[in-house]
Amino acid sequence: MQLGMIGLGKMGANMTKRLLDGGHQLVVTDLNADAIAAAEAEGATGAQSMAALVAKLDAPRAVWVMVPAGDPTENTIKNLMAVLEPGDTIIDGGNSYYVDSVRRAEMLKEHGLHFVDVGTSGGVWGLKEGYSMMIGGETEPVERLRPIFETLAPGADLGWGHVGPSGSGHYTKMIHNGIEYGMMQAYAEGFELLQKKEPFGLDLHQIAEIWRHGSVVRSWLLDLTARALEENPSLEGIAAYVEDSGEGRWTVLEAINLHCSVPVITLALQRRFRSRAAAPFSDKLLAAMRNQFGGHAIRAEDEPST
């Protein structure tokens, strides 16, 4: 099947390669000329602009947008809208906010264009293992794109599905990432407890390997945890600073809007915020309050901990 791909970062480039290996024809473009050249070396057809990419595709066209969420995606979709024709399809495979996806579907519908939102999970491992895809949109364009999804997925009938109307794909992926926050935090806290029990001299990598087989807490995240602990048992050189890409925040906001209690996901998100504070003001104030009501000593900032 023929497909246009806009965005050749880690995800876009790997998806392009997996599709090429699966026998599909890819026309690609990116702001980075070297990325286009690399894709061409894999067998893709390069294009220096969106208009050139569209010109090299046969109608009805399908163009996959794999650029950062927010303005880059918004601008790319609007620019594509100006050069595509009625009956063509735009696929957004990034981590867009589902509300934006609902709006974009309506906007494109007014121009006779189809919109498919694909919540995509798999990261850098997707090339080898396949991608998990949660797909929203109208049935006709989704079914027409079935060969693409079957190739990208772990199996033709595994790891992907049409979950509902426009916006539902990105909504499902948003919740998926919220769950991921909670799971990661639970593993991190559990292994910290193991590491703190110094008299036992526990081998964290060994324990992770034990849990990977037969345990009820086994998962791909645990597989990756075991790998990280094997490569760097003491996590030397890694800063305790955890970013978030937005989906966890959106999940918590959605829970508030739906009057739904999600304390684990909420606390996991808050813990990420906390990881970025070198000297939290709230902790300093706690120390000051204890000193005020109980005369407890205050530790100076440069005083070593005991």
For the cut 70, the answer to whether the pLDDT of residue 267 exceeds it is yes
Q: At the top level of CATH, which class does the domain 174-202+239-275 belong to?
A: mainly alpha
Query: Can you tell me the mean pLDDT for 183-197?
Result: 97
pLDDT digits (tens, 9 = 90+) for 84-134: 999 999 999 999 999 999 999 999 999 999 999 999 999 889 999 999 999
Query: Can you tell me the mean pLDDT for 282-303?
Result: 88
Whether residue 173 lies in the annotated active site: yes
The pair of structure tokens assigned to 155 is 């199996």
For the cut 80, the answer to whether the pLDDT of residue 305 exceeds it is no
| pLDDT the model gives residue 302 | 73
| pLDDT the model gives residue 306 | 60
Q: What is the pTM of this model?
A: 0.93
Task: Dump the DSSP string for 103-172.
Answer: HHHHHHHTTT-EEEEEEEE-GGGHHHH--EEEEES-HHHHHHTHHHHHHHSSBTTBSEEEEESTTHHHHH
Question: Which residues are within 8 A (CB) of 259 and not within 5 positions of it... i.e. 6 or more apart?
Answer: none
From the list 173, 196, 243, 247, the catalytic residue is 173
Q: What residue spans define the domains of the chain?
A: 2-165, 174-202+239-275
Whether residue 284 lies in the annotated active site: no
**CATH code of domain 2-165:** 3.40.50.720
pLDDT digits (tens, 9 = 90+) for 150-159: 999 999 999 9
From the list 74, 129, 150, 180, the catalytic residue is 180
